[in-house]
Amino acid sequence: MTIHDYRHAIPGVEDITRVELDNGIVVLVRPNFTSPSVVVEGLVPGGALLEPVEKAGLANFHSALLMRGTKRRTFEEIYEEIESNGASLSFSAGGHSLRFGSKSLAEDLPLLLDITAGALREPTFPDVHIERVRGQIMTSLQLRAHNTRSMSGLKFLELAYPEGHPYRISLSGYPETIARITRDDIVEFQRTVGPRGAIIVVVGAVAPDEAVRMVEAALSDWENPDQPSLPEVPPAPRLDTVQEGFVHIPGKSQSDLVLGYVGPARNAEDYYAARMANSILGVFGMYGRLGDSVRQAQGLAYYSYSSLTGGQGPGPWRVIAGVAPENVKRAVATIRDEIRRIVEEPVSAEELDENKSFFKGQLVLGLETNEGVASSILSMELYGLGLDYLQRYDEIIDAITIEDVQAAAQHYLNPDAYALAVAGPQSDPA
Average pLDDT, the chain: 95
* Per-residue model confidence as pLDDT tens digits over 55-83: 999 999 999 999 999 999 999 999 999 99
Strands 255-262 vs 88-93: parallel, antiparallel or unpaired: unpaired
Mean pLDDT, range 366-379, rounded to an integer: 96
Task: State how beta strands 88-93 and 97-105 pair.
Answer: antiparallel
Distance of CA 362 to the CA centre of its chain: 17
**Other Cβ atoms within 10 Å of 399 Cβ, number:** 11
pLDDT band at 303, cuts 50/70/90? confident
- Report pLDDT digits (tens) over 98-118: 999 999 999 999 999 999 999
pLDDT at 297: 64
pLDDT value at 2 more than 70: no
Instruction: Please list the alpha-helical segments (H only) found in 256-369.
Output: 271-282, 284-290, 328-344, 349-366
Has residue 291 got a pLDDT over 70? yes
Query: Apex CA 132: angle with CA 83 and CA 90, to 5°?
Result: 35
Collapsing DSSP to helix, strand or coil, 365 comes out as helix
The mean pLDDT value for 399-422 works out to 98
Per-residue confidence (pLDDT) for residue 285, from 0 to 100: 81
What is the percent of the chain where pLDDT is above 90?
A: 91
- Distance, in Å, from the CA atom of 16 to the CA atom of 374, rounded to the nearest integer, reads 11
By DSSP bridging, strand 243-248 and strand 419-424 are: parallel
- Model confidence at 301, pLDDT cuts 50, 70, 90, reads confident
Total-model pTM: 0.94
Say whether pLDDT at 7 is over 80: no
What is the reported pLDDT for 1? 40
Instruction: Examine the pLDDT at 175 and tell me if it is beyond 50.
Output: yes
Over residues 354-378, mean pLDDT: 95
| DSSP notation for 59-91 | HHHHHHHTTSBBSS-BHHHHHHHHHHTT-EEEE
Say what the pLDDT of residue 292 is. 82
Cβ neighbours, 10 Å, residue 162: 13
pLDDT, residue 293, reads 78
- The tens digit of pLDDT for each residue in 16-45 reads 999 999 999 999 999 999 989 999 999 999
* pLDDT confidence of residue 3: 43
Q: Which pLDDT value is given to residue 328?
A: 93
